[in-house]
Amino acid sequence: MTTKLCVPLTANTYERMAADIRAATAAQADMIELRLDHLRDHDLASLRRLMDAARSFPGELIVTCRMAEEGGRWDGDESGRVSLMELAGLCGAHYLDFEYEAWRRSANIRQKIGLVCDVNTDSSRPRARLILSKHDFERTPDDPASILADIAREPAHVVKLACKANKITDSLLMLEALRASAAVRPTIALSMGEAGILARVLARKWGAVLTFASLEAGQESAPGQVPVTQMREMYRWDALNAETRVYGVIGCPVAHSMSPAIMNAAFGEVGHNGVYLPMRVEPDYTDFRAFVDGCLRRPWLDLRGCSVTIPHKQNLLRYVEERGGDIEPLARRIGAANTLSVEKGTRPDGSDARVSASNTDYRGAMDALMAGLAGGGDLGDAAVVVLGAGGASRAIVAGLRDAGCRVTICNRTADKARALADEFQATARPWNDRGRLEADVVVNCTSIGMWPKVDESPLPGGPRLGKMVVFDTIYNPIETQLLRDARERGCRTIDGVAMFVNQAAAQFQIWTGIPAPTATIRLHLVQRLGR
Ligand code: ATR
């Protein structure tokens, strides 16, 4: 079954609902869901007109009317909503969606809606198909597959389960349930919330009946829905299939990441059958391990690689070490990695998957720095101040020391600056001295000034001297407050875009084995940053 992109429509008047049907048609939705409970007034004549208007929609139509306790807005009585739904079924709705509990509780629903949906006959072409659904807005149960199986005991044409994902591992549970259920019956299984995006996009890989996508950002009927145009354009919805390989960016937070836009565009450019998703994993090592282990234990997921960002770069190294995987010598020396690669084994439990870790930040940063220096640049024994002592700093300090630079590290947490300096024969200075230091080059490796806190700078007041070269590893925004101050002082500035493109291109090549389309990566990055 080819999974449909279904746009839920939640306007509160019939006129607006009709306008949204036209908008969903223009947005190329495959299906629409009319949420009757969002309408302010409920009269049968208006519904009849709305159903007439819905005939212009070329795809299929779901009609739903949820009560407050089912996560909806219906405040009328049960028989009122049954009348509306019945009429919708008789006026051409392809699917009627009822909550499983309501169906079980109400003989009236079973009798009337059952009749409209022909559930007691073997009709291969029922007037309307019955979706029985269950929602949990708080959590994901431990065994969603058994809930889908319970629902399937009723005469539903489609079973549906939607649960809040509190962690990304909840999405894995849901995908597992979807995969098992969709193999035997038409199924909709999805995870709500930011951590649920994996389940929403990958629904197509296992042939769910549909996934929901919002008409536009801000018009979601449930948290975590991706706008329909983003599903089609960014996640390349139409190209997803059972063979699609899965990649992503593991971080926390990760919603702002540009990586999904650029990596998916790059996959599309070279025709690689892959999809790249944001993967929000809570900061602890145990969360990181639970997620990656959870993916590897499910080899059918086809996870092949992840970019790993704040705050997990050191977790990645520890994880690959623990699993006995390969660590690129450079990444080991730097003590941080940003690229996870997975080579699938043959065992169904995934226990023979091979993981490896590499660091593409280092090359990305050094290439950007060299290219940004006057005349192609030679760092020689330049004096460089590095702000920050996290994963990115480690990579850059290692690179700078390799190139022969004299490096001074300033970090808010002094111990971390000292430890890093000791390791790479650099000097540590107190964080408060950072504005007073003389240097040829200043590199910001902290997250200060990153979107959304764009007015902040790691060097309040700007760099001390106009002859300094100032390199900010932050790429969002392209011109940070630090770089703006530096430019105004006459400094040469290097932004984070080149570094970001270089490191992403290196990851792309590690995963796919083919050279990255760097022009496409740059274009999409700059386009998104410009929005
Ligand atoms: P990355 O892998 O990108 O380097 P990281 O390892 O989390 O990310 O490191 C973030 C760096 O930004 C750290 O040096 C951090 O300083 P601490 O070691 O003191 O935590 C620095 N940083 C983040 N927010 C900061 C702030 N508000 N003020 C000063 N330093 C900050």
Distances (CA, A) of 56 to 7, 21, 26, 393: 15, 8, 11, 57
Residue 375 has pLDDT above 60, yes or no: no
- 226-227/210-214 β-pairing: parallel
Residue 461 has pLDDT above 90, yes or no: no
The confidence score (pLDDT) of residue 204 equals 98
Residue 376 has pLDDT above 60, yes or no: no
- 339-343/354-358 β-pairing: antiparallel
Q: Quote the CA–CA distance of 358 and 395 in Å, as a whole number.
A: 11
Domain 247-359+502-529 CATH assignment equals 3.40.50.10860: yes
Token match 């940070």: residue? 480
Pocket around ligand 1 at a 6 A CB cut-off: 310-311, 313, 388-393, 411-413, 416, 445-448
Indicate the SS3 state at residue 44: helix
392 confidence band (pLDDT: 50, 70, 90): confident
Give the CA count within 13 Å in the CB-facing half-sphere of 182. 24
Best probe residue, ligand 1, of 288, 412, 431, 432 (max atoms within 8 Å of C-beta): 412
Homologous superfamily assigned to 374-494: NAD(P)-binding Rossmann-like Domain (3.40.50.720)
Cα-Cα end-to-end distance for the chain: 36
Q: Which of 283, 206, 266 is nearest to 242 (CA)?
A: 206
272 catalytically annotated: no
Sequence ranges of the domains in the chain: 4-240, 247-359+502-529, 374-494
| Per-residue pLDDT tens over the stretch 125-138 | 888 999 999 999 99
The number of the ligand 1 atom at minimal distance from the alpha carbon of 413 is 19
Q: State the average pLDDT over residues 92-98.
A: 97
160 catalytically annotated: yes
Indicate the SS3 state at residue 132: strand
* C-alpha torsion sign, points 526, 528, 529, 531: positive
Residue 108 has pLDDT above 90, yes or no: yes
- Could you tell me the distance, in angstroms and rounded to a whole number, from the CA of residue 252 to the centre of ligand 1? 13
112 catalytically annotated: no
Q: Say which of 134, 205, 313, 524 is annotated catalytic.
A: 313
Q: Helices in 354-455 by DSSP H: which ranges?
A: 361-372, 391-402, 414-423
Residue minimizing CA distance to atom 31 of ligand 1: 446
Q: Quote the CA–CA distance of 215 and 50 in Å, as a whole number.
A: 18
Percent of the chain with pLDDT over 70: 99
- Do the domains at 4-240 and 247-359+502-529 have one common CATH topology? no
Best probe residue, ligand 1, of 431, 447, 481, 482 (max atoms within 8 Å of C-beta): 447
Q: Quote the CA–CA distance of 506 and 108 in Å, as a whole number.
A: 61
Residue minimizing CA distance to atom 30 of ligand 1: 412
- 194 or 464: which carries more pLDDT confidence? 194
Q: State the average pLDDT over residues 497-505.
A: 93
Q: Say which of 37, 361, 440, 472 is annotated catalytic.
A: 361
Give the domain 4-240 fold: TIM Barrel (3.20.20)
Q: Say which of 160, 167, 205, 312 is annotated catalytic.
A: 160
